[in-house]
């Protein structure tokens, strides 16, 4: 099963540590080496990179690392820095400058002020599933693990100079969009197609690209796209997420093929569980969707690891990667914990940005510590 990754990054001024609207210039420079693997996002503060499809996680990690270095070098050439954070730690006042283009203009016309807080960066993992029916079956079986993945990948506790009280504020802002959050449980392929057609026809979203469910079949590639994660601070964090998602997709597909029904939690409880995961990350409690009670968030992460154990056992190198990276998370914390640890040193947001700049291009296996010192 192939995997590909999209990573979105912020651009910041290294002196003020606030957002810098230099995406167009940075993309133009980086394209000399990356070609179509780098492109724009909604605002001039952001760039997006993409990997090729991979079957080997080591090769994926190397491409992620190389791509980050090239993008960071292009940014530095224009006097700015590349930052892997789900949300801006510091930002200028007012609405962000949008990138030019017809699609971004349509988004602004449809969504209005929702675009004002769309300076948020995600990590999207694409699983190669050419059969859309299979993709929807996998989506159905993955939905209940969205809270655990949210808690693990939280990397946006700050927004524009304040602590939001959430580990993943990006997740909260994304769920305000009209078509967002956990996807529905799909009864069939026609159910999915009819629903998407109705959402587009009624201008609830400008096009199929505006279907912002946390899991969705890609509208441009033969993949299932898992969109739950904040952009991850390091390549190691991204590889951990990718390995877990691929193992989860293999497990979900196996359950679907065996005729095991997908879990059907109450939609409001699933949404509440996602919100609690966005608030608490791995440091608080999680909503158990089976027993309707609270439990330690780390217990749900262990349950996810147990669920995918057979899939990982079939690929020992993936299993070693996942277990080593989970042990690292136990030591250093999630991205959100590392951001807060950096802030706690001197209570300055500049320290947080400096730490993020360093982590963004940290070599795989560097063992980034919570609150590590930036440049």
Q: 331 in a domain, yes or no?
A: yes
Q: Are 172 and 166 in contact (CB under 8 A)?
A: yes
Q: 311 in a domain, yes or no?
A: yes
Q: Is the dihedral of CA 64, 154, 312, 245 positive or negative?
A: negative
**First CA to last CA distance, the chain:** 39
Q: Are 153 and 118 in contact (CB under 8 A)?
A: no
Q: What contacts 194, CB < 8 A, 6 or more positions away?
A: none
Q: Are 201 and 31 in contact (CB under 8 A)?
A: no
The domain that contains 343 carries what CATH number? 3.30.590.20
Q: 368 in a domain, yes or no?
A: no
Stretch 308-312: mean pLDDT, rounded?
97
Token pair recorded at residue 77: 């050439």
Taking the model in full, what pTM does it have? 0.94
Q: 187 in a domain, yes or no?
A: yes
**Over the stretch 78-89, which tens digit does the pLDDT of each residue have?**
999 999 999 999
Residue 115 pLDDT > 80, yes or no?
no
Q: 145 in a domain, yes or no?
A: yes
pLDDT of residue 365: 76
Q: Are 120 and 86 in contact (CB under 8 A)?
A: yes
Identify the weakest region by mean pLDDT among 57-66, 116-125, 152-161: 116-125
Higher pLDDT, 83 or 117: 83
Stretch 119-144: mean pLDDT, rounded?
95
Token pair recorded at residue 16: 């003020």
**Over the stretch 30-58, which tens digit does the pLDDT of each residue have?**
999 999 999 999 899 999 999 999 999 99
Token pair recorded at residue 119: 């300076």
pLDDT of residue 97: 86
Residue 107 pLDDT > 80, yes or no?
no
Q: 375 in a domain, yes or no?
A: no
Stretch 229-250: mean pLDDT, rounded?
98
How many separate domains does the chain show? 1
Higher pLDDT, 316 or 99: 316
Residue 373 pLDDT > 50, yes or no?
no
Which residues form the domain of 48?
Answer: 3-360
Q: Are 213 and 205 in contact (CB under 8 A)?
A: no
**Phi, psi dihedral angles at 115 (to 5 degrees):** -70, -20
pLDDT of residue 371: 41
Q: pLDDT exceeding 70 applies to what percent of the chain?
A: 94
Q: Residue 369 — very low, low, confident or very high, per pLDDT cuts 50/70/90?
A: low
Q: Which of 68, 98, 26 is nearest to 363 (CA)?
A: 68
Higher pLDDT, 344 or 93: 344
Stretch 132-149: mean pLDDT, rounded?
97
The mean predicted confidence, pLDDT, of the chain is 93
pLDDT of residue 367: 59
What is the separation of C-alpha 68 from the centre of its chain, rounded to a whole number of angstroms? Answer: 16
Residue 169 pLDDT > 80, yes or no?
yes
Q: 372 in a domain, yes or no?
A: no
Residue 375 pLDDT > 90, yes or no?
no
Q: Which of 127, 138, 144, 135 is nearest to 303 (CA)?
A: 144
**Over the stretch 174-225, which tens digit does the pLDDT of each residue have?**
888 889 999 999 999 999 999 999 999 998 988 888 899 999 998 888 999 9
pLDDT of residue 220: 83
- Environment class of 268 (CB within 10 Å of its CB; exposed 0-12, middle 13-18, buried 19+): exposed
Q: 367 in a domain, yes or no?
A: no
CA–CA gap between residue 354 and residue 338 (Å, rounded)? 12
């Amino acid at each position: 099963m192939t995997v590909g990754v999209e990573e979105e990054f912020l651009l910041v001024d290294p002196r003020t540590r606030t957002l810098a609207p230099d995406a167009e210039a940075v993309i133009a420079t980086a394209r000399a080496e990356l070609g179509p693997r780098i492109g724009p996002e909604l605002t001039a503060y952001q760039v997006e990179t993409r990997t090729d499809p991979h079957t080997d996680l080591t090769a994926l990690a190397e491409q992620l690392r190389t791509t980050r270095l090239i993008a960071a070098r292009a940014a530095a050439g224009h006097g700015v820095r590349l930052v892997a954070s789900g949300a801006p730690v510091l930002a200028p006042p007012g609405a962000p400058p949008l990138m030019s283009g017809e699609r971004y203009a349509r988004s602004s016309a449809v969504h209005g002020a929702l675009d004002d807080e769309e300076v948020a960066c995600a990590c999207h993992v694409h699983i190669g599933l050419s059969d859309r029916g299979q993709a929807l079956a996998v989506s159905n079986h993955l939905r209940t693990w969205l809270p655990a993945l949210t808690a693990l990948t939280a990397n946006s506790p700050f927004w524009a100079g304040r602590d939001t009280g959430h580990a993943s504020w990006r997740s909260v802002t994304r769920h305000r969009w009209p078509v967002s959050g956990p996807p529905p449980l799909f009864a069939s392929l026609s159910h999915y197609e009819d629903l998407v057609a109705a959402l587009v026809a009624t201008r609830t979203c400008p096009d199929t690209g505006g279907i912002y469910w946390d899991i969705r079949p890609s509208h441009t590639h033969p993949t299932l796209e898992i969109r739950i994660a904040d952009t991850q601070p390091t390549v190691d964090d991204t590889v951990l997420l990718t390995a877990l998602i691929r193992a989860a997709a293999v497990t979900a597909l196996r359950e679907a093929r065996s005729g095991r029904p997908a879990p059907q939690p109450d939609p409001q409880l699933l949404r509440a569980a996602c919100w609690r995961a966005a608030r608490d990350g791995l440091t608080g409690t999680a909503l158990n969707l089976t027993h309707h009670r609270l439990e330690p968030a780390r217990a749900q992460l262990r349950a996810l690891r147990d669920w995918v154990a057979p899939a990982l056992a079939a690929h020992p190198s993936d299993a070693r990667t996942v277990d080593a990276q989970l042990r690292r998370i136990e030591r250093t914390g999630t991205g959100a914990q590392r951001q807060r640890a950096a802030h706690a040193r001197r209570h300055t947001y500049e320290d947080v940005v400096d730490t993020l700049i360093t982590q963004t291009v940290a070599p795989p296996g560097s063992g980034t510590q919570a609150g590590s010192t930036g440049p």
